[in-house]
Amino acid sequence: MDNRIPRARALGLAMILLLCAGALHRWVHVTRASQALNHTPLARPLSEIPSSIGQFSLERNVPLESDVLRVSDVDSFLNRAYVDPVSGDRVLLFVGYWGRENVGTGHGPEVCYPAVGWNAEWEPAERIVRFDTAAGTFEAPMMVHRFSRTEPEGIIQRAVGFTAVVGGEFRASSRGVFWHRPSGGRRTGGAYLTHVQVSAPVFGEAWDAGESDVAAFMELLLPQLVRCLPRAAAAVELEGAS
């Protein structure tokens, strides 16, 4: 079966990610002056995340419309399609970074996907992703979702893995992030938030295969992501992650 992701669908998924994340990360009652004062910059640009991750190679960078960027208010993002040239398997990667202390509420894939016509196929389940760095092997929680939607060509299905990094701490959900300041934000050189979402198409009943692709990609991605996060916060995260 042809598992190519049409450009329009990839753009639509990207818009879901950023519009939902924007609801979570927009500021309320904070002036531009205080925003600049409290901004925590990345240690490295997200563009330094490699174009080859494991057996997956960069297929294309997926652009985002200016109005989507404006609504999301994201400081930096990466939105890419990767492909395994041997198997033809594909994954979509979105990383969004907000280097500011925010006030507000929001939600993740469990709300955003159904809002635009996707049906949840099961209750989200948390799984642990183990990843290797020069300092050792560490763990991060990831929430796994299953979604389906009926389109003219038939039913399409996606496995979606989500994790958030809040001020240097991995979380499987971004719910409730802005009801308080991220733990250790001041101590680690400032508060920041990062959303990481990896999704893969699923065909028939092969949900386990789709989720395995998501988990394998996330496992190889996270060491590269940590290098890009604010230096002090990344060091604290790694120190307490195992």
Element (H, E) at 17: helix 7-25
Biggest CA–CA distance in the chain, Å, is 53
Q: Which of 180, 217, 185 is nearest to 201 (CA)?
A: 217
pLDDT of residue 176: 56
Q: Are 153 and 53 in contact (CB under 8 A)?
A: no
Write the pLDDT tens digit of every residue in 125-165: 999 999 988 878 899 999 999 999 999 999 999 999 999 88
- How far, in Å, CA of 160 to CA of 22, rounded? 19
Please enumerate in sequence order all residues whose Cβ is within 8 A of that of 19, keeping only pairs 6 or more positions apart, or say none: 68, 71, 72, 112
pLDDT of residue 188: 46
Please enumerate in sequence order all residues whose Cβ is within 8 A of that of 205, keeping only pairs 6 or more positions apart, or say none: none
pLDDT of residue 32: 42
CB burial of 18-39 (b: ≥16 within 10 Å; e: otherwise) equals bbbbbbbbbbeeeeeeeeeebe
The two structure tokens encoding residue 238: 């790694």
Write the pLDDT tens digit of every residue in 68-97: 777 777 889 999 999 999 999 999 999 988
- How far, in Å, CA of 125 to CA of 157, rounded? 17
Q: Which of 221, 192, 213, 198 is nearest to 74 (CA)?
A: 192
Q: Are 58 and 82 in contact (CB under 8 A)?
A: yes
User: Hunting for tokens 């198997």 — which residue is that?
Assistant: 87
Q: What is the pTM of this model?
A: 0.79
Q: Which of 163, 185, 183 is nearest to 39 (CA)?
A: 185
The two structure tokens encoding residue 204: 């028939």
Question: Mean pLDDT, 10 residues at a time, over the chain (242 residues)?
Answer: 56 60 46 54 95 95 80 86 94 90 57 87 92 87 96 94 87 62 46 89 94 95 93 50 46
pLDDT of residue 174: 66
